[in-house]
Structure 1
């Protein structure tokens, strides 16, 4: 029995209400903290800058895997729970005053195709927002869907996500620039493999190393 995989795009889904992403940019957070402590003016990010993205990469990451479970003729329901091996988390870091994490992820989402919008910024998106822009987006739950193989074998169920990451440069009209890095996950992946057969994907091979 060959392994099966489900792929559900979840991070790009549109949310009904505005999600106000917290400022996760390292430089901006430190500046805000300094302002509170010293009450002195600090540099702030310009609101009409331009993003340039580079080194965009995609990587499938194993997030959970079950212990191997042997089923006899006719198969049956798998009962072993998955244990988490990795927790994906959106992140944004900048080396100076930068727009909010939500604005940065909005630009990143447009760059990667996860966000389909003609708006230049999240603020101009007419009140719409996307889960991809939420720096607090939770990792997909494990064991959300139990699988029932219909054949005998030694089975392992696994889960993963597709992560995307990239470097950015934010350039203000006056020439000031801020550099940074952003990461998020885009696809919830679920799979089933038979340890008695050859794994047919990188995630399945990693799951096999954990459990088979």
Structure 2
């Protein structure tokens, strides 16, 4: 799998991403739509065209705090932090649409190309020659909170935190016959471990949120 979420460390900084499930559309082909022992009896599932094009708008990227620990006081020389982080947000890739649309993976593939998260000359993920990306997987799990613990080497009152960079945008999918479907997509790209010293001024919006939650 290409495009797996990476991890980076920073002091006072965090980053994050997103994805949701696609809603389905049905058309009434006669009958009452009831089922008989699991068999459909009067519903035809509307399908999206395969030759449409995406137009993206309101593309945003922002850092989301996913976990934060309680503060720990360390003496000269620092040392290992013992407090585990508690989860404050769970990023989930998602897609929603107001009618028949391509699969969530195709929609997120287009978003990934739009934002530069996916580097591919393929027009669709189906044409990508078997390459896959975690960015397009709506089942891709949220990163663990204690996978990359940080050890400060100085005295201070420290808070460890984790986060992701979320990417989201509105889309319009237009078929060659003029039919359109609109919706919204979200995914996350990379998770980061960070460390904040409560005695220092926060240097980012994310670090300010960490200080507000954990520092006195």
Give me the whole-angstrom Cα distance separating, in 1, the residues matched to 2:126 and 2:84. 42
For the structure 1 residues 109 and 177, does the alpha-carbon distance in structure 2 shift closer, same or farther, using more than 3 Å as the test? same
User: Root-mean-square deviation (CA), in Å?
Assistant: 2.3
Instruction: Report the counterpart of residue 24 of structure 1 in structure 2.
Output: 21
Alignment equivalent of 2:50, drawn from 47, 51, 56: 47
1:37 Cα offset (Å): 3.6
Alignment equivalent of 2:142, drawn from 139, 157, 169: 139
SS in 2 for 1:178: strand
Give me the whole-angstrom Cα distance separating, in 1, the residues matched to 2:98 and 2:13. 38
Alignment equivalent of 1:66, drawn from 62, 66, 69: 69
SS in 2 for 1:109: helix
Instruction: Report the counterpart of residue 4 of structure 1 in structure 2.
Output: 11
Give me the whole-angstrom Cα distance separating, in 2, the residues matched to 1:60 and 1:8. 4
Indicate if the aligned counterparts of 2:23 and 2:97 stay in contact, CA closer than 8 A: yes
1:147 Cα offset (Å): 1.6
1:74 Cα offset (Å): 1.3
State the TM-score, normalizing by the size of structure 2.
0.84
Give me the whole-angstrom Cα distance separating, in 2, the residues matched to 1:122 and 1:146. 35
State the TM-score, normalizing by the size of structure 1.
0.85
Matches within 5 A, 1:92-111: 92-111=95-114
Instruction: Report the counterpart of residue 182 of structure 2 in structure 1.
Output: 179
1:137 Cα offset (Å): 1.1
Alignment size in residue pairs: 196
Structure 2, gaps ≥5 residues long? 1-9, 28-32
1:27 Cα offset (Å): 2.9
Deviations 1:148-178 (A, max 9, x none): 1111110000111111110000011111100
1:200 Cα offset (Å): 1.1
1:180 Cα offset (Å): 0.3
Instruction: Report the counterpart of residue 166 of structure 2 in structure 1.
Output: 163
SS in 2 for 1:27: coil
Instruction: Report the counterpart of residue 206 of structure 2 in structure 1.
Output: 203
1:25 Cα offset (Å): 1.6
Give me the whole-angstrom Cα distance separating, in 2, the residues matched to 1:145 and 1:173. 48
Structure 1, gaps ≥5 residues long? 12-20
For the structure 1 residues 195 and 7, does the alpha-carbon distance in structure 2 shift closer, same or farther, using more than 3 Å as the test? closer
Q: Does 1:188 find its partner at 2:191? A: yes
1:5 Cα offset (Å): 5.7
